[in-house]
Structure 1
Amino acid sequence: MQSLEEHPPRTDVPRAEVPHPEVSLAAIAALHLRIGCLSFGGGMTGLIYHEVVTKRGWLREAEFLSGLTICQILPGGNVVNLAIYVGQRLRGLPGAAVAFAALLGGPFFIIIGFMLVYERLAGLPFVAAGLNGVTAAAMGLMLMMTVRGAQLSRHASSLAVIAATMIAVGVLHFPLIAVVCVAVPVSIALAARRRARHG
């Protein structure tokens, strides 16, 4: 018999073939309920990335960013689409349903309660300062997602599309739908051109 030293275990298994960890429906529900209840003013995409990819390792980074791209061009809210995508990838249709219900269920009741007292709190200086801080944090999370996407893209043309999109939406304040309608066909055309060139 040949020893294991002569034939060591394979370490070149593609990452795409690594299965997802077993995640319970309760864990999916708890995470999305917490994200939905504790996230204010945007930035939820970055928070979901941190929780699902960086902290828990439920999805690989490339898999998450690919799903995020799809979610951004589909109808509906990006975060809701992303929650459904994450749930579906982890536990199929039940996971998608649980993630959707948990993400929206908590905020639904919080918003109803908050609206009852908002008029009394809106004029307080510390409330306004707190909301400004949350807005800044949300912008930072979104910037982090943009930087991570740019780091994974090693093509100058892709980086140019990312930069143009940021400038168009963040600086020039062009309508997001109009920017997406231009950026998506351009990105697809560039990807097809690269594949034809290398393929």
Structure 2
Amino acid sequence: MPPESPPAAVAAPDLSKSPPTLVELFIAFAKMSLAGFGGVLVWARRGIVDQHKWMTADEFNETFALCHFLPGPNIVNLTFVFGSRLRGLPGSIAAFSGLVGPPALIMVVMGALYHRYGEIDALRRILSGVACAAIGLMLAVVFRMMTPLFKRRDVVALLVMVLVFIAIGLFRLPLAAVLLIAIPVSIAITYWMRKEAA
């Protein structure tokens, strides 16, 4: 009987290439931020994992999970952690500058235009359409980030995710209280499962 073929692996980062330069980091994050109408997370994952292959899907999820529990905007935290991982403090600054620099400049201009023309009804309808597109993009990235869990058939991780969603999304329990329970439980379950597998 032939041996069972191993499951398809998630594309690993190309470690043979040297890390991106500070300019490449700046440009990459500037592109992500300029494409990120309604949120940069979708484009950050696409650029970091799919396009440049600087991280695997699992590494991105783990890094984003860490950044989610730090104070401040998640994508800004991710930018600092990612830039620091590749190029230290200068990498963090380059990635952060690319992330916030171009959009900040655009927002100053757009703010001035909105102040002048914000009462126009057509503009309000356009902004409503942009809001719908932003929700669609967020749902798309949520499903993409769940893909590694489904591929590994990680039932425990999916169950914890569903329970946290129910607690916060449906029962409206405080985020901090849910996380204070969910984080230690997740760590304990992972530790126990790895111990059993060893």
Q: Which residue is 1:27 aligned to?
A: 24
Report the CA distance shift for 1:180/1:128 in structure 2 as closer, same or farther (over 3 A). farther
Map 1:37-52; keep pairs closer than 5 Å: 37-42=34-39, 44-52=40-48
Amino acid at match of 1:19: L
- Indicate how the Cα distance of structure 1 residues 140 and 175 shifts in structure 2: closer, same or farther if over 3 A, else same: farther
Question: How many residues are aligned here?
Answer: 184
- For 1:18 and 1:34, the matched residues in 2 are separated by 21
Among candidates 122, 126, 150, match of residue 122 of structure 2: 126
Asked if 1:155 is matched to 2:151, the reply is no
Cα pair distance change 1:46/1:129, threshold 3 Å: same
Q: Percent identity?
A: 33
Query: Match for 2:49: what amino acid?
Result: V
* Equivalent residues of 1:21, 1:58 under 8 A apart: no
Q: Please give the residue correspondences for 1:67-146 in structure 2 after superposition, counting only pairs within 5 Å.
A: 67-146=63-142
Give the Å deviation of 1:61.
1.6
- d(CA) in 2 for partners of 1:131, 1:124: 11
The TM-score with structure 2 as length reference comes to 0.77
Structure 1's unaligned 5+ residue stretches are: 1-14
Give 1:192 deviation, angstroms.
1.9
Matched to 1:144, the amino acid is A
Aligned alpha-carbon RMSD (Å): 2.7
Q: Given the superposition, is the C-alpha separation of residues 39 and 145 from structure 1 closer, same or farther in structure 2, using an over 3 Å criterion? A: closer
Offset, 1:151: 2.8
Aligned CA distance change for structure 1 residues 114 and 96 (closer, same or farther; 3 Å) = same
Question: Secondary structure in 2 aligned to 1:58?
Answer: coil
